[in-house]
Amino acid sequence: MSLHAAERPTRILVDLDRIAGNLRAIRAHAGVPVMAIVKANAYGHGLVPVARHLQAVGVEHLGVAFPEEGVALRRAGITVPILVLGGIFGPQVAQYLAHDLQVTVSSLDKLRQVEAAAQALGRRATVHLKVDTGMERIGVHAWTAGPFIEAAVASRWIDLAGIYSHLACSDEPDSPMTALQLERFDEACAHFGRIGVPVPPRHIANSGGVLHFPQARLDMVRPGILLYGVLPGPESRPTVAVAPALSLVSRVVYFKVVEAGHSVSYGGTWTPAADTRVVTVPIGYGDGYPRALSSRGSVLVRGREYPIVGRVCMDQFMVDIGRDSAWNEDEVVLIGRQGDSELGVEQVAAAAGMIPYEVLVGLNDRIPRVHRGAYPDAE
């Protein structure tokens, strides 16, 4: 960590041991191996430190969105299998093979691209077949999967490591969509039996699938946000005991009395009716803290919750503490616990009109991350 970063009062604190505990809880609940999803900077928690810790505690598989994320992990010494979940961009296929990344193959055309790259490099490609069961994102439709599966099985340049799909509504336990998707996926996978070939490892359960649908756990599960201790949706049921791993903290850098009738921040959108005490916190939307929290969000100071007032600025925002006291350098908790009070990322997201995923992945690298656990210096 640079001297500048070490001195900045705003920081993200990540408890790696909590992530490891969440992994253990998910594995025990699902009863099958886990592909831990670490895309988008490990949901804002820090790609390399999180992946290193997960590897150290025995995770079976990692999942990323783009080959660039996989290459970064390989260069950091990660050796466990890594699946790139996103769609293939042809010119990048050689990078998958050069760095031993598993490829999502989502059509016959993509299969041919991978075969050509593998043949040119003289090395086999490890792939997972993607079946679209209802997302309409990438993957062959389940009802047309037969020729696709047969081509993959017959390929001289392909090692088939899995077949998978993705659940669209699993964070809604009562949605009928999941049952329909599972039915479609089972029918696609049945084609292996029809051609007399063992079915490769099947996986479809994301965080919601782990929580709500035992029949979706199959041969492996792919938790994302649940791994970091956050439920995937407001209707989700906490069937697995997980704990949030990320806190966002800062410090008071200014205190003043704002007189009645004097507006605060850009646009003058908030004006106190009576004299009040206002403190300034050095973090803003330039750090990925949502501007939508203007006069809607709150923070913890000295164990009490206070409202954000006026518009969140690029680099700072103001908080109304009323007649209470606060001192410069007092800790301010934006996400996390302080004393007996807690602001969960779910509460922050609801105040901003967002989902927790957006809040977490939006926190950018201008905020230093401090990892507590086995790899505190792996920034």
- Looking at domain 246-343, its CATH architecture is Beta Barrel (2.40)
| Active-site residue list | 39, 266
**Alpha-carbon span 142 to 184, nearest angstrom:** 6
pLDDT of residue 375: 54
% of the chain with per-residue pLDDT over 90: 96
Confidence grade of residue 378 (pLDDT, cut at 50, 70, 90)? very low
Give the model confidence (pLDDT) of 296-348 as tens digits: 999 999 999 999 999 999 999 999 999 999 999 999 999 999 999 999 999 99
Greatest alpha-carbon span in the chain: 80
Asked if 250 and 302 count as a contact pair (C-beta separation under 8 A), the reply is: no
Examine the pLDDT at 376 and tell me if it is beyond 60: no
Mean pLDDT (the chain) is 96
How many CB atoms neighbour CB 217 within 10 A? 18
Q: Which of 36, 6, 89, 364 has the alpha carbon at shortest distance from 220?
A: 36
Hey, what long-range contacts does 262-269 have (CB within 8 A, 24 or more apart)? 263/310, 264/309, 264/310, 264/318, 265/294, 265/309, 265/310, 265/311, 265/312, 265/313, 265/317, 265/318, 266/310, 266/311, 266/313, 267/311, 269/294, 269/295, 269/310, 269/311
Asked if 205 and 26 count as a contact pair (C-beta separation under 8 A), the reply is: no
Give the model confidence (pLDDT) of 37-95 as tens digits: 999 999 999 999 999 999 999 999 999 999 999 999 999 999 999 999 999 998 999 99
Examine the pLDDT at 27 and tell me if it is beyond 70: yes
299 to 32, 128, 312: CA distances (angstroms): 39, 44, 13
Q: For residue 228, what is the DSSP state?
A: G
pTM: 0.95
**Alpha-carbon span 313 to 193, nearest angstrom:** 59
CA angle 214, 230, 72 (to 5 degrees): 95
pLDDT of residue 65: 98
**Alpha-carbon span 31 to 147, nearest angstrom:** 32
Q: In the block, which residue shows the tokens 């996400």?
A: 335
Query: Please, what is the end-to-end C-alpha distance for the chain in angstroms?
Result: 7
Give the model confidence (pLDDT) of 163-218 as tens digits: 999 999 999 999 999 999 999 999 999 999 999 999 999 999 999 999 999 999 99
CATH for 16-228?
3.20.20.10
pLDDT of residue 331: 98
Confidence grade of residue 7 (pLDDT, cut at 50, 70, 90)? confident
Q: HSE-up of 105 (CA within 13 Å, CB side)?
A: 29
* Structural domain spans, the chain: 16-228, 246-343
Examine the pLDDT at 127 and tell me if it is beyond 90: yes
Confidence grade of residue 256 (pLDDT, cut at 50, 70, 90)? very high
At residue 21, φ and ψ (nearest 5 deg) are -65, -40
pLDDT of residue 373: 86
pLDDT of residue 38: 98
Which residues does residue 370 pair with via DSSP β-bridges, in sequence order?
Answer: 13
pLDDT of residue 374: 63
